[in-house]
């Protein structure tokens, strides 16, 4: 038997369904030579301070007890609310009929950390292999199973996740405690790797708004009528169009006596506007929340997670927790197939053509996961919120394989009594 560890129950169900592990047990699926079980996010976490010394750290904080750094080594414990699932996974890991384990947690350092700590606390002795896929369609699962990596190839990613976990703990515990004791005045001051710079960004922007001094300025606009149509021009002097006071404005206006102008320069240029880049999670959240007032960033993520997990037969979008706006070059064939399926029946179908360009495919700019795109599985029953997010992802994806918009820009300079209007 081969034991597969997924990160979430929904992913485990998708994998088990495809592999034919159809017998459901408490906490896992079994059948056809596979056992598929799952974590529920982080089953294992670091000790709290009080877990190291209950008498010393359970009561009020004392400045003399900080900084706190474990003297021997960092210790881990099973999340009390998830102990049942951990015990199930541990028991499966020690079954005699398990040949090896396939790690199918998310393909990033957080996923590696989740599985690494489970294997550590469960004292796993079985060989571990890694399935590296970004989504859980049947084709991806097949490709991943046929190209398993050895666990040793994942050591750097595991170390990155472990190091970040330890660093976050040390910074969060010590800085939060000391800042609260010295400056909190009875209130908890949370300090951490994420919260501190985020609050600083909000604070800086708030100060800019608070200290902003509005300033009135004036511009002069001319309305022109020619044989071929009407147009407007803005008075310019050495590329500047703004005046600080009304006296200067009136001085210019009073100097104009003629009711006719002369076009002294006309430039016509053509420009192209390409589709915006594919979505990362952050750019998708920004796009959706700017258009729909009933969405928050968290809601966008939750809807994406629902679309990613799909119907059990596969997800409708690729892995959403990505910071990339490019695709791995190896995905070209799959993207072409997806595009061919999604464009059918669209009124501009003949404008949609697959091309492998650096604007879309660039492996050097992809970290753990590619940009968010639809899969070839077309959803049939979506909630209104899911439909909004799915359509945004689908439309952005399709637009990247369409010709750019083309514009003709005309710039006219008109002279009226030696005054130039642009």
Helix (H, G, I), strand (E, B) or coil at 337: helix
Residue linked to tokens 């990155």 = 160
Q: CA angle, 199 as apex, 198 and 201 as ends, to 5°?
A: 65
Set 57, 235, 308, 319: catalytic member: 319
Residue 31 CA: distances (Å) to CA of 89, 170, 334:
16, 44, 29
- Give the CA dihedral 376, 380, 383, 388, nearest 10 degrees: 50
Distance between CA 102 and CA 33 in Å, rounded?
A: 13
Distance between CA 30 and CA 98 in Å, rounded?
A: 12
Residue linked to tokens 């129950």 = 9
Contacts of 245 (CB under 8 A, 6+ apart): 218
Check if 319 is active-site.
yes
Burial of 15 (0-12, 13-18, 19+ CB in 10 A): buried
- Report residue 70 as tokens: 């474990």
Instruction: Map 56-98 to HEC letters.
Output: HHCCCCCHHHCCCCCCCCCCEEECHHHHHHHHHHHHHHCCCCC
CA 374, 106, 79, 193 torsion-angle sign:
negative
Q: Which helix (H) or strand (E) holds 272?
A: strand 262-273
Residues carrying an active site annotation: 319
């Amino acid at each position: 038997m081969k034991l597969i560890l997924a990160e979430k129950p929904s992913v485990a169900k998708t994998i088990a369904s495809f592999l034919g592990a159809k017998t459901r047990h408490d906490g896992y699926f079994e059948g056809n030579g596979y056992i598929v079980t799952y974590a529920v996010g982080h089953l294992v976490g670091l000790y709290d301070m009080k877990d190291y010394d209950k008498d010393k750290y359970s009561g009020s904080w004392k400045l003399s007890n900080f900084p706190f750094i474990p003297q021997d080594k960092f210790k881990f414990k099973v999340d009390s609310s998830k102990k049942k699932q951990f015990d199930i996974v541990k028991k499966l890991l020690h079954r005699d009929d398990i040949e090896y384990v396939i790690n199918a947690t998310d393909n990033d350092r957080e996923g590696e950390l989740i599985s690494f700590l489970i294997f550590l606390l469960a004292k796993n002795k079985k060989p571990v292999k890694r399935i590296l896929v970004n989504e859980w369609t049947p084709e991806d699962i097949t490709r991943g199973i046929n190209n398993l990596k050895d666990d040793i190839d994942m050591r750097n990613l595991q170390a990155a996740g472990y190091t970040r976990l330890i660093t976050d703990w040390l910074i969060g515990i010590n800085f939060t405690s000391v800042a609260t004791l010295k400056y909190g005045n009875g209130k908890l001051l949370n300090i951490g790797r994420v919260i501190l710079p985020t609050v600083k960004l909000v604070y800086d922007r708030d100060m800019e708004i608070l200290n902003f001094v509005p300033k009135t300025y004036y511009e002069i606009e001319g309305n022109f009528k020619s044989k071929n149509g009407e147009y407007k021009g803005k008075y310019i002097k050495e590329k500047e169009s703004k005046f600080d006071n009304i006296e200067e404005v009136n001085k210019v206006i009073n100097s104009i006596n003629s009711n006719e102008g002369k076009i002294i320069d006309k430039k016509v240029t053509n420009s192209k506007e390409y589709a915006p880049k594919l979505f990362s999670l952050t750019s998708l959240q920004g796009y959706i929340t700017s258009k729909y007032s009933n969405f928050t960033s968290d809601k966008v993520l939750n809807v994406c997670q629902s679309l990613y997990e799909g119907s059990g037969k596969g997800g409708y979008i690729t892995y959403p927790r990505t910071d990339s706006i490019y695709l791995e070059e190896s995905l070209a064939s799959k993207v072409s197939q997806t595009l061919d399926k999604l464009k059918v029946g669209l009124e501009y179908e003949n404008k949609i053509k697959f091309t492998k360009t650096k604007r879309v495919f660039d492996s050097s700019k992809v970290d753990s996961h590619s940009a968010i795109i639809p899969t070839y599985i077309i959803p049939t029953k979506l909630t209104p919120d899911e439909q909004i997010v799915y359509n945004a992802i689908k439309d952005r994806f399709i637009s990247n394989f369409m010709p750019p918009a083309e514009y003709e820009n005309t710039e006219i300079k008109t002279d009226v009594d030696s005054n130039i209007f642009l």
